């Protein structure tokens, strides 16, 4: 059975390519590192390093086990970090990319910044959010789904022992880029033809699955063309600020944006509705921090 010290020593040697440099990194001696590596080689029955005239090099066998060693050390680090945070509250949240959510998380953080809270905020699609909440990586997950997919989404989350609670209904919205030559259309006179889009990676539940959107005159958003797909909010924002692209997603949920997503104007894309809500583990109470955050968002949605 390998111990933590042996795995740490193995990783340090692999990363530095030298017993002496590994010793410096581990605040020990070169002879101690050599002994630990030799003991690990005896336990595993493998030669882990080729001894060269200048330094060392992993053998093919060592290269195969190196990723597992790094994984063990990363998991150990997470355990240690978790232990350090026992005295502080924690809030782990996942969400679909959303400027509204980002703005209001910042407000919540400012409101709570005097408290001992640690945060983990992860941006993902609906399926990944469900998986993260199911596996207890996150306390709660916030999603935007097409209203006509509600039954399918409810069935999907229930199969994963979760529950979905809608919080607000909004409309699909076109955000025009600052360099767009188009004049924002009014509802009922939309023209998707020739429209070039930058969209996030879609799943079947999200508004990024834009081809399901049809306006009140029966015009389908599928006439538009996706030219860029990204999971980066930063890239999305920069493209909308300076380019001639547009984006179809959910409308801002309350109040006014603290900063504009794009220089262009937003307008209703269709009569297709979008639901914003949250998923949590079925039958379980939220942590105090998660419940505080949820209540803050619910209150904000009434603004």
Select from 190, 186, 171, 175 the least CA-distant residue to 273: 171
Question: Which tokens sit at 278?
Answer: 């949250």
CATH code of domain 89-300: 3.40.190.290
Residues of the chain with CATH 1.10.10.10: 4-84
pLDDT exceeds cutoff 60 at 185: no
DSSP H/E element including 56: strand 56-58
Residues 6+ apart with CB under 8 A from 2: 40, 43, 44
Residues of the chain with CATH 3.40.190.290: 89-300
Banded model confidence at residue 183, pLDDT cuts 50, 70, 90: low
Q: What pLDDT is stored for residue 267 in this prediction?
A: 57
Banded model confidence at residue 188, pLDDT cuts 50, 70, 90: very low
Banded model confidence at residue 134, pLDDT cuts 50, 70, 90: very high
Please state, in angstroms and rounded to a whole number, the distance separating the CA atoms of residues 198 and 237. 10
Question: CATH for 4-84, among 3.40.50.2300, 1.10.10.10, 1.10.3720.10, 3.40.50.300?
Answer: 1.10.10.10
Rounded to the nearest angstrom, the gap between the alpha carbon of residue 37 and the centroid of all alpha carbons in its chain is 38
Q: Which residues of 109-146 are buried (b: 16+ CB within 10 A; e: fewer)?
A: eeebeeeebeeeeebbbbebbbbbbbeeebbbbbbbbb
pLDDT exceeds cutoff 80 at 76: yes
Please state, in angstroms and rounded to a whole number, the distance separating the CA atoms of residues 25 and 7. 14
Select from 26, 30, 27, 28 the least CA-distant residue to 12: 26
227, 197 contact by CB (below 8 A): yes
Q: Which residues of 49-60 are buried (b: 16+ CB within 10 A; e: fewer)?
A: beeeeeebebee
Sign of CA dihedral 176, 257, 249, 132: positive
Rounded to the nearest integer, the mean pLDDT of the chain is 84
186, 177 contact by CB (below 8 A): no
CA distances from 230 to 174, 234, 237 (A): 17, 10, 11
Task: Over range 262-279, report the average pLDDT.
Answer: 70
- R_g (Cα) of the chain, nearest Å: 26
Q: Identify which has the larger pLDDT, 209 or 38.
A: 38
pLDDT digit string (tens) for 86-100? 545 789 999 998 888
CA quadruple 212, 217, 223, 226: dihedral, nearest 10:
-60
């Amino acid at each position: 059975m390998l111990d933590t010290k042996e795995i740490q020593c193995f990783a340090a040697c692999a990363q530095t390519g030298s017993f002496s440099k590994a010793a410096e990194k581990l605040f020990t001696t070169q002879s101690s590192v050599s002994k630990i590596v030799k003991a690990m080689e005896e336990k595993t029955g493998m030669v882990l390093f080729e001894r060269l005239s200048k330094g060392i090099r992993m053998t093919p066998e060592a290269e195969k086990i190196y990723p597992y060693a790094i994984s063990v050390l990363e998991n150990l680090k997470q355990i240690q970090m978790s232990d350090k945070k026992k005295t502080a509250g924690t809030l782990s949240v996942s969400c679909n990319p959303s400027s509204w959510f980002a703005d209001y998380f910042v407000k919540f953080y400012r409101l709570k910044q005097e408290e001992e809270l640690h945060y983990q905020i992860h941006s993902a699609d609906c399926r990944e959010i469900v998986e993260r909440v199911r596996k207890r990586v996150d306390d709660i997950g916030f999603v935007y789904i097409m209203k006509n997919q509600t039954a399918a989404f409810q069935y999907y989350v229930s199969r994963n022992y979760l529950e979905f609670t809608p919080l607000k209904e909004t409309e699909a919205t076109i955000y025009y880029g600052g360099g767009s030559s188009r004049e924002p259309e009014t509802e009922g006179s939309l023209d998707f033809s020739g429209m070039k889009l930058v969209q996030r990676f879609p799943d079947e539940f999200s508004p990024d699955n834009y081809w399901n959107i049809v306006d009140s005159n029966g015009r389908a958003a599928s006439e538009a063309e996706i030219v860029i797909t990204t999971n980066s909010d930063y890239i999305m924002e920069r493209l909308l600020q300076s380019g001639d692209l547009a984006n179809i997603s959910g409308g801002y949920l309350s109040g006014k944006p603290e900063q504009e997503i794009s220089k262009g104007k937003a307008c209703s894309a269709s009569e297709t509705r979008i639901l914003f809500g949250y998923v949590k583990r079925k039958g379980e109470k939220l942590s105090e921090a998660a419940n505080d955050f949820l209540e803050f968002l619910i209150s904000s949605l009434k603004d």
